[in-house]
Chains A and B, each alone.
Chain A
């Protein structure tokens, strides 16, 4: 595969919390403008992997890493990396939608404001654009000043998506974004992701293997902090190379 297509390169990466190793010696590439699905049972290290990419694991006491994660050829764990800047490049949507206790507008404008955007016109523009891309604009355009906590769960999750789009990131990391949502809301999010793929590189952690089958270009299977296999989604689902992948997809465990 041509090198310029590789956006993130993970090499021999391990994540420790105190003495415990949650990710073991990962080697993985993420390609530009793909949706990489990550599946695996609970506690297999999927979410930890996302939080290693944007260094949110740094916030946990006793966090330590080995190996490298290169984004655009640069190891993000080098000491002089600007973590704040890094996190702006990798927008993260969490499993439970967590709107901040502010208005819809202020939730979306939160990131740009922290990055120093003050101009009201520019903010208006960013908020509208992000909500449109997140597929929420039509539903909330008349009530941007109401509290984000009043939105439904599905709307809140799309708000969280819009909130990271407002930062104009290069990557979108999603941690089981539809685990708490109904089928219609799930479908809306998946539609947004397919459209967003053109502009962003997306990593989708999901505990719903069918979701990976529906939207992911390639799928990786994690088990006990190890990457068991990764490849084009169709291949993983029809002819997995590893027996454990096959067992998991057949629902034999997890």
Chain B
């Protein structure tokens, strides 16, 4: 039995519309739930004062700083490595067994739970290499966790640059490197940046990998070897130990707002960039 095409068309539209509504509703519900409970806890002092008494009092400044520093370090390490790998895989080598193995490896890496990365980082960086619970250990661990995403999104972005652009660049006497830096990367940048934003979001929100490697110190970090506590770890400890639910929600609200802000800022910058190049 086949449905009348006009009826099936109508059913499809309603079903797809309902799915979208459910998705957006869940998303908005989570955001509003967190913000309603968290916003009252947020004040200037909350943002600028350090935690006192394990987080029962004071603010969350040192954890904001810890999050920013860890994320920045992770992105600074992962971006050149990931984009470089993507450029090599797409521009500097033909598709063969080796590239397929690299890609398969990267994809497997993407599927590993972050707590395993935490354990790996703990064993390698914290104990074997003796970096201790530190920003360096945490940043390196996060970077490895982010690499697959950055490689994958950069690769897709680079592949989507029309091959005609490359042909033009080569025919105008460009070397491979000039072609990559002047033609391919500018065109691929929006896609690459999208991958980096995703990675920033993931690393701001990451708990398992950082608690094992960066520790949970509440002091202001003073060097790469200082232990630090990220906002999400702070949230976890506040909620888990029942120290202060209102401060836990306050931290969560700051986290969500931070991720939104990163997205908005990056899309704004990217739009300006795209206008300049097209």
Question: In the complex the two chains form, is A111's CB within 8 Å of B173's CB?
Answer: yes
Question: In the complex the two chains form, is B164's CB within 8 Å of A84's CB?
Answer: no
Question: In the complex the two chains form, is B94's CB within 8 Å of A110's CB?
Answer: no
* A92 CB within 8 Å of chain B: yes
Question: In the complex the two chains form, is A114's CB within 8 Å of B178's CB?
Answer: yes
Distance of A106 from chain B, by nearest CB (Å): 10
Instruction: Identify which of residues 72-87 in chain A touch chain B, using a CB-to-CB cut-off of 8 Å.
Output: 84-85, 87
Question: In the complex the two chains form, is B278's CB within 8 Å of A149's CB?
Answer: yes
Question: In the complex the two chains form, is B277's CB within 8 Å of A101's CB?
Answer: yes
Question: In the complex the two chains form, is A101's CB within 8 Å of B171's CB?
Answer: no
Q: Which of B167, B178, B278 contacts A56 (CB 8 A)?
A: B167
Q: Which of B165, B166, B170, B173 contacts A167 (CB 8 A)?
A: B173
Question: In the complex the two chains form, is B164's CB within 8 Å of A164's CB?
Answer: no
Question: In the complex the two chains form, is A101's CB within 8 Å of B278's CB?
Answer: yes
Instruction: Identify which of residues 53-98 in chain A touch chain B, using a CB-to-CB cut-off of 8 Å.
Output: 54, 56, 59, 61, 84-85, 87-88, 91-92, 94, 96, 98
Interface size (B, Cβ < 8 Å)?
Answer: 21
Which of B166, B173, B175 has the most C-beta atoms of chain A within 10 angstroms of its own C-beta?
B173
Distance of A243 from chain B, by nearest CB (Å): 36
Interface string of A143-155 (1 = CB under 8 A from B): 0000101000000
Q: Which of A56, A91, A92, A102 contacts B277 (CB 8 A)?
A: A102
Q: Which residues of A contact B187 (CB under 8 A)?
A: 101
Question: In the complex the two chains form, is A164's CB within 8 Å of B172's CB?
Answer: yes
Question: In the complex the two chains form, is B173's CB within 8 Å of A56's CB?
Answer: no
Write the chain B residue with the least CB distance to A160: B168
Question: In the complex the two chains form, is A91's CB within 8 Å of B171's CB?
Answer: yes
Q: Which residues of A contact B36 (CB under 8 A)?
A: none
Which of B170, B182, B183, B187 has the most C-beta atoms of chain A within 10 angstroms of its own C-beta?
B170
Complex alpha-carbon distance, A149 and B186, angstroms: 15
Interface SS of chain B: helix
Question: In the complex the two chains form, is A87's CB within 8 Å of B165's CB?
Answer: no
* A100 CB within 8 Å of chain B: yes
Q: Which residues of B contact A92 (CB under 8 A)?
A: 171
Q: Which residues of A contact B165 (CB under 8 A)?
A: 98, 100
Question: In the complex the two chains form, is A110's CB within 8 Å of B172's CB?
Answer: yes
* B221 CB within 8 Å of chain A: no
* B174 CB within 8 Å of chain A: yes
Complex alpha-carbon distance, A59 and B175, angstroms: 12
Question: In the complex the two chains form, is A59's CB within 8 Å of B278's CB?
Answer: no
Instruction: Identify which of residues 175-196 in chain B touch chain A, using a CB-to-CB cut-off of 8 Å.
Output: 175, 178, 182-183, 186-187
Question: In the complex the two chains form, is A84's CB within 8 Å of B94's CB?
Answer: no
Complex alpha-carbon distance, A84 and B166, angstroms: 13
Distance of A216 from chain B, by nearest CB (Å): 22
Complex alpha-carbon distance, A61 and B164, angstroms: 16
Q: Which of B94, B164, B277 contacts A96 (CB 8 A)?
A: B164
Q: Which of A54, A61, A149 contacts B171 (CB 8 A)?
A: A54
Question: In the complex the two chains form, is A94's CB within 8 Å of B164's CB?
Answer: yes
Distance of B176 from chain A, by nearest CB (Å): 9
Interface residues of A, Cβ cutoff 8 Å to B: 54, 56, 59, 61, 84-85, 87-88, 91-92, 94, 96, 98, 100-102, 110-111, 114-115, 147, 149, 163-164, 167
Contacts A87-B173, A114-B182, A164-B171 known; 7 new A-B pairs at CB < 8 A:
A98-B165, A100-B169, A100-B183, A101-B186, A101-B187, A111-B173, A147-B278
27 contacts between A and B (CB under 8 A): A56-B167, A56-B170, A59-B167, A59-B170, A84-B175, A85-B173, A88-B172, A88-B173, A91-B172, A94-B164, A94-B171, A98-B162, A98-B164, A100-B169, A100-B183, A101-B186, A101-B278, A102-B277, A111-B172, A111-B174, A114-B172, A114-B174, A114-B175, A114-B178, A114-B182, A115-B173, A164-B171
10 smallest beta-carbon distances between A and B, as pairs:
A88-B173, A111-B172, A92-B171, A101-B278, A98-B164, A87-B173, A114-B174, A114-B178, A101-B277, A98-B168
